[in-house]
Amino acid sequence: MIGIIDYGMGNLYSVSKALERLNYDYIISADPAELRKAKGLILPGVGAFKDAMEQLNQTKLTDFIKEEVEKGMPLLGICLGMQLLFEESDENGVTKGLELLKGRVERIPGITAEGQTYKVPHMGWNSLDFHQQSALLDGISTGHVYFVHSYYVKTNDQDVLLATSPYDVEVPAVVGKEHVFGTQFHPEKSSAIGMQMLQNYANFVEKRSPSYEQI
């Protein structure tokens, strides 16, 4: 079973429906005691980084997420949820994130080095460039996925970059380290490729349970 973390800022319906299509059991909860019954967690997110962290802090979910990840609980962040995995964001003032991965979140510039402007937010289908193998990417080697975001992750830790997407800046599209993963795009809205990633995550969760031993 996967626990979908409900902190008031996630697209719970689309994520839960995607898991239903995969015939995978899930719970939606803001209660750490309930979420601890899950074998893996999904952190969805829509909105502003600062607001999201305030909600996580107020509901005591920040400490819960960090503690469970430290124990080895698999975690998948989606869209804003992926950004929250990193150290900080400059959206609406500098705000500390979950600090599970190294990097910071900044606004997509919207202007090229030559001074030409381009659309922000980055919205619609875009291609993926794959950089390294991962359990999350099993059976996936090409394709397009669906993005909606105005901020992106900048990181010097190349080891966490599983796939990127070109949008003048190089957008980290899929990140991962050990049992922590994230997608900047919405896999539940990204057709067969996105569903394959969710299936891969569910498979990863099952392989690690119940003791969370490294695989």
Catalytic residues: 79, 186, 188
Q: d(Cα 65, Cα 55) in Å, to the nearest integer? A: 13
Q: Strand, helix or coil at 106?
A: strand
Distance from CA of residue 47 to its chain's centroid? 14
Q: Strand, helix or coil at 122?
A: strand
**Which tokens belong to 94?**
């500098």
SS3 for 121-180 is: CEEEEEECEECCCCHHHCCCCCCEEEEEECEEEECCCHHHEEEEEEECEEEEEEEEECCE
